[in-house]
Amino acid sequence: MCGIVGYLGKNKAQDILVEGLSKLEYRGYDSAGIAIMENGEIESDKCKGRLSNLQSKLEEKPIQGRIGIGHTRWATHGEPSDVNSHPHLNKDGSIAVVHNVIIENYIELKEELISLGYEFKSETDTEVIPHLVDHYYEGNLLDAVIKATKRMDGSYAIGVMTEKEPNKLIAVRKDSPLIVGIKPGETFIASDIPAILNHTRDIYLLEDNEFVVIEEDKVTILDENKELVSKGFKEEEILASSLVIKNQDGTYVDRFRKRFMIPIRDVKDRVIAFGGRVLDDSKPKYINSPENIVYSK
Ligand code: GLU
């Protein structure tokens, strides 16, 4: 178990990604990396070891841009090394992927992809994902990611970006946590709440097989049939960010604006599931990092 973060917004992605990853250090990791859309091209840096190693590299050679994904790795397939660190890219570097947990059928997928001419650089199970997305890409990243995930057995939370649709991030999860945080002009994804708590409390917890498509002006959450996932939120409050509702004729025009409130019960369950302890009703905290207030009303 390790960590994913993603950002699309008006600020410098590098700082937000690295800060988010630092808040996920409690999950344990052996390497770290980021990929950012810089002038329409994916720039990536990654390395084995502490997040501070990556930070030193980024201080020497910062990556500019407002859209990106980041990862702390806990190796399951392939030793901790620079090349096995995430993000993983397709051959021409136009698709970048970060992934948590394990693709169980990666050997058969890898053999199939090799027979199609794909070349692998790392020993990871994860590297099948950018190649699968590349294989299925026909001008629509969401379609390619849906097709790729249909081929993947196992558990995953993934974040994907491509130079071909440079103002977009896509994320999906199955049996691994992933959240979406929203504030006006900025959207975040993360494996857990502390990674984005400095930025927003408007947080939505993704369910299995929900795809979130993050664009400049909207966030859309869809199922694998591209049907809008309807959500029940406890509180209704006007917020500049919005979800997009799909009409019966397939267009996305009707917007509803609601504040994303996490039911306190869900937060408590998650704190306990992650080895934490609920200290009192209003302020559950992580046992190992008491400064991380997970939720306060
Ligand atoms: N299975 C992947 C790897 O070994 C991801 C591990 C993780 O969750 O960090 O690279």
Q: Is 176 in the pocket of ligand 1 (CB under 6 A)?
A: no
Q: For position 236, what pLDDT does the model report?
A: 28
Global pTM value: 0.81
- Report the separation in Å between the CA atom of 264 and the middle of ligand 1, taken as the mean of its atom positions: 30
Q: Is the pLDDT at 232 greater than 50, yes or no?
A: no
Q: Among 99-113, 176-190, 232-246, which is the least confidently predicted range?
A: 232-246
Q: Is 124 in the pocket of ligand 1 (CB under 6 A)?
A: yes
Q: Is 125 in the pocket of ligand 1 (CB under 6 A)?
A: yes
Q: Is the pLDDT at 291 greater than 60, yes or no?
A: no
Q: For position 119, what pLDDT does the model report?
A: 98
Q: Is 83 in the pocket of ligand 1 (CB under 6 A)?
A: no
Q: Is 99 in the pocket of ligand 1 (CB under 6 A)?
A: yes
C-alpha–C-alpha distance, residues 133 and 140, integer Å: 10
Q: For position 228, what pLDDT does the model report?
A: 79
The closest-lying atom of ligand 1 relative to the alpha carbon of residue 86 is 10
CA 37 to chain centre: 15
- DSSP lists the bridge partners of residue 248 as none
Q: For position 283, what pLDDT does the model report?
A: 36
Task: Walk across the sheet containing 219-222 and list its strands.
Answer: 88-89, 95-100, 156-162, 168-174, 211-215, 219-222, 243-246, 252-256
Q: Is 100 in the pocket of ligand 1 (CB under 6 A)?
A: yes
pLDDT interval class at 50 (50, 70, 90): very high
Q: For position 234, what pLDDT does the model report?
A: 29
The string of pLDDT tens digits covering residues 7-36 is 999 999 999 999 999 999 888 899 999 999
Q: Which residue has the higher pLDDT, 146 or 231?
A: 146
- Report the separation in Å between the CA atom of 272 and the middle of ligand 1, taken as the mean of its atom positions: 23
Instruction: Give the rounded percent of residues in the chain with a pLDDT score beyond 70.
Output: 77
The string of pLDDT tens digits covering residues 53-71 is 999 999 999 999 999 999 9
Q: For position 286, what pLDDT does the model report?
A: 28
Distances in whole angstroms, Cα of residue 239 to Cα of each of 5, 7, 179, 183: 23, 19, 18, 8
Q: Among 115-124, 190-199, 272-281, which is the least confidently predicted range?
A: 272-281
